[in-house]
């Protein structure tokens, strides 16, 4: 995102019971998902600490593709359509997230198994670091 020009970050919030799911997107696609338990912050306030210098606009419509994908994931279903992303990844991060996305819904894998599946059998710790910094945790669980 550094050096890119866009009009702002669109924020929204979904609530399911005590879980609050914060969504952030730009015109190009999904940017970030945040989670809060018993957290009643407005979406712009939630993302202010992540994007302190950017314009934050509350707008569910601009987050609808991300909201639909999150909804599908919460119901243990793959998203109905391709989700456009506005996130920059290194080649390794992209391979790790693609490997995680390929895990069938309802199944799990260790970081070591993910690393092996992506051709880096010694990369379990690196996969763990990628997942620890994952900006879209429900999309790439």
**Structural domain boundaries, residue 124:** 91-132
Indicate whether 28 belongs to any domain.
yes
Please name every residue paired with 35 in a beta bridge, in sequence order, or none if there are none: 21
CA 60 to chain centre: 16
Indicate whether 123 belongs to any domain.
yes
pLDDT at 1: 46
Do residues 13 and 59 both lie within one domain? yes
Indicate whether 63 belongs to any domain.
yes
Indicate whether 2 belongs to any domain.
no
Indicate whether 85 belongs to any domain.
no
Mean pLDDT by 10 residues, the chain (141 residues): 66 94 96 92 94 94 95 83 90 93 88 94 96 91 81
Indicate whether 137 belongs to any domain.
no
3-state secondary structure of 118: coil
Do residues 111 and 63 both lie within one domain? no
């Amino acid at each position: 995102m550094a050096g890119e020009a866009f009009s702002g970050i669109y924020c929204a919030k979904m609530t399911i019971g005590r879980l609050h799911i914060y969504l952030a997107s730009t015109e190009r696609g999904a940017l970030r998902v945040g989670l809060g338990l018993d957290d009643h912050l407005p979406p712009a306030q939630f993302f202010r600490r992540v994007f302190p210098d950017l314009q934050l606009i509350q707008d569910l419509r601009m987050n609808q593709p991300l909201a639909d994908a999150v909804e599908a994931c919460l119901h243990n279903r793959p998203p109905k359509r391709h989700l456009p992303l506005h996130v920059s990844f290194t080649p390794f991060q992209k391979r790790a997230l693609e490997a995680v996305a390929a895990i069938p819904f309802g199944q799990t894998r260790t970081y070591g198994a993910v690393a092996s599946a992506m051709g880096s059998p010694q990369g379990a710790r690196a996969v763990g670091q990628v997942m620890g910094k994952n900006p879209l945790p429900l999309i790439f669980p």
